[in-house]
Amino acid sequence: MARSKKPRIMSQEQVRQFIKDNEIQSVEDIQSVLKEMFAEALQGMLEGELDTHLGYQKHEDKNKHTDNRRNGPTPKTVRSDYGEVGPEVPRDRDGEFEPIIVKKGQRNVTGIEDQIIALYAKGVSTRDIQSHLEHLYGIDVSPTLISNVTNKIMPTIKEWQSRPLMKTYAVVFMNAIHYKVKQDGMIVNKAAYMVIGIDMDGNKDVLGMWIGENESSKFWLLVLNELRNRGVEDILIISVDNLKGFSEAIAACYPQTEVQKCIVHQIRNSVRYVNYKDLRKVTANLKPIYQAPTEQAGLEALGEFEAIWGTKYPLITGSWRNNWPELSTFFKYPPEIRKIIYTTNIIESYHRQLRKVTKGKAVFPTDDSLPKMLYLVTQDVMKKWTSRVQNWGQILLQLSVFFPERVANYLP
């Protein structure tokens, strides 16, 4: 495919004449004229495509070497950088003509920038984006251009990050995911603090993302305060990992909120220092603790575990007992609520989708490159969250028993 030619630039005299001829007096006038010019150019390109397909131009039957002919156009509306335009897509009688400039079903012709952002959102490297655009369009794009195009979403990210939130959330999940970022000539570890909320209608939403230098309870307190500043007055239950100081940070900002520490994280921490030959037995003996039907039964199972392993692995039983008040929160709830809160699976699943796209990035080149990609992937993920949590009506009624005054306004 031939390279795109550099567009000709009008002289100052030509610009003055153009303004005069089109009676341009405002920015809106410029946009209107450009829209008309774009529409005319688009229509001309479509007609040119059909001319090429048929082998002759309109009204030039003497050069016709086919029985196929024009068969009247089909009106179509597409979105462009200048607003909506309505080209007349030409057709041929045999139905063989397939336009390329505006393909069947295509409703958007906003240009290359959208493609750059879409490819970037899929984790495609800058080099591969360059190769893709060169192969398809014969267009050379520099890494700087790609960076500049993707930088245009930074104001959108800031607006999204500061948007008002719901007054009350039933359950909020908090967890961090870690990346390497190049900063001041060095590669440093960064924590992306992510928060997912289930609102009182049972819908999931990513409430925000914050980039910090390693995960800490102090930074989580900053996140919690920002949620409050954005309108979140109440959270019924927060599900978190076992980060030291997390519970104190939550209590400082949302003193009425119940905390559920993630059972899966607790198990991972428990087996970290277990000998490999004991691993299967230890994990099997831990199951009766968190699978118990009641908190009392769970405590009894913990006592039985301690009798078997307490001498060899005292740190395990010590950790379970120290964290028990917040590991055992889920026991008082029915199975529908237990299933949601006893682990941070919802946010872990979200993290897996982030990693699927970011796995090709061993190191992010700038501080801005990380939130840009995380935001774009997040928007793709949230498009799939179209239905509310299963059995939400029943769950809401159950929550109303445990939190009557706080849930009353949300009952049908």
Kindly state whether residues 115 and 203 are assigned to the same domain: no
Task: Report pLDDT for 109.
Answer: 63
| Domain of 42, in residue numbers | 1-104
Tell me the mean pLDDT per 10 residues along the chain, length 412. Answer: 50 75 81 78 78 77 74 81 78 84 70 76 81 68 77 88 95 94 89 95 95 88 96 96 87 95 93 92 96 96 96 94 95 94 91 88 85 91 91 95 93 82
CA distance 391 to 405: 22
pTM of the predicted protein model:
0.71
Domain closes at, from 152, 183, 209 = 152
Residue 231 lies in a domain: yes
CA distances from 148 to 23, 154, 161, 395 (A): 34, 10, 21, 46
Contact 214, 233 (CB under 8 A): no
Task: Report pLDDT for 213.
Answer: 82
Contact 362, 180 (CB under 8 A): yes
Task: Report pLDDT for 117.
Answer: 82
Residue 92 lies in a domain: yes
Task: Report pLDDT for 8.
Answer: 54
CA distance 350 to 194: 9
Residue with tokens 């495609």: 124
Residue 412 lies in a domain: no
Please give the torsion angle defined by the CA atoms of residues 400, 403, 407 and 408, in that order, rounded to the nearest 10 degrees: 70
H or E segment to which residue 331 belongs: none
Task: Report pLDDT for 9.
Answer: 53
CA distance 259 to 174: 11
CA distances from 95 to 56, 61, 123, 126 (A): 17, 19, 39, 40
Task: Report pLDDT for 2.
Answer: 44
Q: Per the structure, how many domains does the chain have?
A: 3
Secondary structure of residue 31 in the 3-state scheme: helix
Kindly state whether residues 148 and 61 are assigned to the same domain: no
Kindly state whether residues 234 and 327 are assigned to the same domain: yes
